[in-house]
Amino acid sequence: MIAAPPLIVVAGATATGKSELAIRLGEAIIETGRSAAIISADSRQVFRGLDIGTAKVTADDRARIPHHGLDLVEPDEMFSVADFATHAREVLAAIAADDGVAILAGGTGLYLRAVARGLDTDALPSDAAIRARLEREFDDDGLAPLIARLATTAPRLAETVDLANPRRVVRALEIAELAGDAPRPPARGYAGPVVWLGLTVEPATHRDRIAARARAQFDAGLMDEAGTLRERFDPALPAFSAIGYREAWAVSDGALDRQAAIELDAQRTIAFAKRQRTWFRSEPDIDWLDATAALPVESALDRALPFLDTAPRT
């Protein structure tokens, strides 16, 4: 039996159509007689209750093809890239045992890299006491001082971190305190065959898509979702750095009107997408597909299905 199933990675910035493409690829694979499952690589979709604001796939989508990597922990629980890699390995082993194909889809570059490049996440140092202290500093003083410290003490590490994500900044500072500005552990590779596909959208169209998504999320009930979450959890939790929730709370609190909140949501998402594109430029061997006109299902199939024909089977 192969150590890991054939893996198709679907990468790209937010609002480029990754989720639907992954589902369509999975359905096409199933039509060939093999099973398939999707592992979501999104650092916010692991949290239960963050559905509309993270563009989590619907129950109908999940009925089309099995999904993993979703709803793994509560918003007040810690969840690291090492936790994600552990979860993914368990799922991949089950897919391999079923002679299936795995599709790893999402925009969290470190999650994709940890699984599909085989980062040795266990080799990264950790200290719960240091992390707790840094989290208290974030609660007391906000994110900006932590970002400034990281940029000063570990500039190489800072270049690889999503600086808008408090959890990532805290974790990077924890590593920096323990190991200095050392490079990340080398990739060990993926144990099975792997192909990387990426979705890209022309910038002006991408901005329009992001703006439309922000409005659609508010129309779909983001205000109610955010309100329910704030009733149950501390709104300062890093999980709620996911774009949209603080904008929704600002409307509830009278600090923003609805239109201004939607526009701010879109602006923050556009900036986030820019950081994602920067990350993915450092990833080698991604076969980029133009998703500007339409979801490039046929182009993706043209690349993925021949790959599966050459991948070993159990």
The domains located in the chain, with CATH, are: 7-122+189-203+275-310 (3.40.50.300), 125-179 (1.10.20.140)
Q: Which of 116, 111, 80, 99 is nearest to 36 (CA)?
A: 99
Residue 312: the pLDDT is 64
Whether the CA torsion 35, 41, 43, 44 is positive or negative: it is: negative
Please spell the DSSP secondary structure of the chain, one letter per residue. --SS--EEEEEESTTSSHHHHHHHHHHHHHHTT--EEEEE--TTTTBTT--TTTTPPPHHHHHHS-EESSS-B-TTS---HHHHHHHHHHHHHHHHHTT-EEEEE-S-HHHHHHHHT-B-GGGS---HHHHHHHHHHHHHH-SHHHHHHHHHH-HHHHTTS-TT-HHHHHHHHHHHHHH-SPPPPPB---SS-EEEEEEE--HHHHHHHHHHHHHHHHHTTHHHHHHHHHHHS-TTSGGGGSTTHHHHHHHHTTSS-HHHHHHHHHHHHHHHHHHHHHHHHTSTTEEEEE-SSS--HHHHHHHHHHHHHHS---
| The pLDDT value given to residue 247 | 98
pLDDT at position 58 is: 95
pLDDT, position 178: 86
- Per residue of the chain (314 residues), what is the pLDDT tens digit? 346 899 999 999 999 999 999 999 999 999 989 999 999 999 999 999 999 999 999 999 999 999 999 999 999 998 888 899 999 999 999 999 999 999 999 999 989 999 999 988 777 777 878 888 898 898 888 889 999 999 999 998 888 787 877 878 988 899 899 888 876 667 789 999 999 999 999 999 999 999 999 999 999 999 999 999 999 999 989 899 899 999 999 999 999 999 999 999 999 999 999 989 988 988 999 999 998 755 677 888 888 877 777 666 65
Q: What pTM was estimated for this model as a whole?
A: 0.85
pLDDT at 274: 92
